Amino acid sequence: MKFISAFLFVALAFSCKDNTNKTPQNQANSDQKDSLIFPEEVHFKSIRQVTFGGDNAEAYWSFDDQKLIFQSNNPAWGLGCDQLFIMNQNESFDSIAPPMVSTGLGRTTCAYFLPDNKHFVYGSTHLGGKECPDAPLRREGKYVWPIYESYDIFVADLQGNITGQLTTEPGYDAEATVSPKGDKIVFTSMRTGDLELFTMNLDGSDVKQITNELGYDGGAFFSPDGTQLIFRSSRPKTNEEIKEYKDLLKEGLVQPTNMELYICNADGSNLRQLTNLGNANWSPFFHPSGKKILFSSNFEAERGFPFNLYMIDLDGKNLERVTHGLTFDAFPVFSNDGKKLVFSSNRNNGGGRDTNLFIAEWQD
């Protein structure tokens, strides 16, 4: 679901627009109470930094909002590529790592709690080899993501013990998230020869295909009532775009630089395009009201960055910019009670490459 280090490589390589006169509150006004909030970020009542090094992303809340699970490649924790960690919602971590709950083998992605708060689902390549698979940054001048065919979806307990394997089909199976209703999992799979969305029961049964149009459909999340899905898609249109997409896919690659958001019912019906902004619109998540979508986009950038968080109504109206960072804000996820937002950001990293987790108190 994410290859954040590759995004950051591009961020450091290119300049971007809207990068003047933006300073955090403690630099703009010493009377402001929270140094990590930019003056324009009116939806954040307070903010707390959770991690302090490496690339940390895709943090998801337990159903009772007491814990978070996330992935990190922090070299200070002895990591060569993304592994999964669990934490209490009030903790933070610098030199000492939180408990690792993945195997430590291969590469992992997209861990998501199950309703019992005692297990989680996640994608892992460990059955394909113990080493970290390569993560190419570019291909013939193109920015690409690898789609590892060794990814499958597993269930584990909070001690990291694998208790089940939910997918066994050949090819990529990953990006699993769970309905707030606690009855279904949505995930992305290559089992049809294209990257489509599927749903299944919590035990892996009753697999149903949700999307069936050419393009990378991924990063899907259920609405708070479980009746809708929001996701990102590349959806190539021209003959040239279609050929490029298919050629890259044969090599296990996708190009995520042009993606829009789509929404549909949980069974795939009533599919429609939500955004038409250009560039990369991704990492969407429903607002607790179920009436808005929070997402990351670089549509205002001239040369790739910055990525900031935006909010939009389900009818595509009332687009609002939420964050005002200089390089990268993404992966916004609301707590189940709607009071907190966890997201990944480059803020407060000293101008380096680190992307850390932050928890903000949300106010509408």
Report the pLDDT value the prediction gives residue 283, as an integer from 0 to 100: 98
Report the pLDDT value the prediction gives residue 303, as an integer from 0 to 100: 80
Whether 60 and 115 have beta carbons less than 8 Å apart is answered as no
- For the segment 19-66, what is each residue's pLDDT rounded down to a tens digit? 333 434 333 333 344 689 999 999 999 999 999 999 999 999 999 999
Report the pLDDT value the prediction gives residue 87, as an integer from 0 to 100: 97
What is the rounded CA–CA span in Å between residue 357 and residue 218?
22
Residue 239 structure tokens: 């003959």
Is 3.10.580.10 the CATH number for 4-362?
no
Rounded to two decimals, the pTM is: 0.92
Report the pLDDT value the prediction gives residue 35, as an integer from 0 to 100: 83
Report the pLDDT value the prediction gives residue 30, as an integer from 0 to 100: 33
What is the chain's percent helix, strand, coil content, to nearest 5? 10, 40, 50
Q: Supply φ then ψ for residue 244, to 5 degrees.
A: -65, -45
Whether 303 and 280 have beta carbons less than 8 Å apart is answered as no
Domains of the chain: which residue ranges?
Answer: 4-362
Report the pLDDT value the prediction gives residue 15, as an integer from 0 to 100: 28
Q: Supply φ then ψ for residue 77, to 5 degrees.
A: -100, 10
DSSP-derived pairing of the beta strands 253-254 and 260-265: unpaired
The contacts of residue 44 (CB under 8 Å, 6+ apart) are 34, 37, 341, 360, 361, 362, 363
Residues of the chain with pLDDT under 70: 1-34, 136-141
Which H helix or E strand runs over 228? Answer: strand 228-233
Report the pLDDT value the prediction gives residue 137, as an integer from 0 to 100: 64
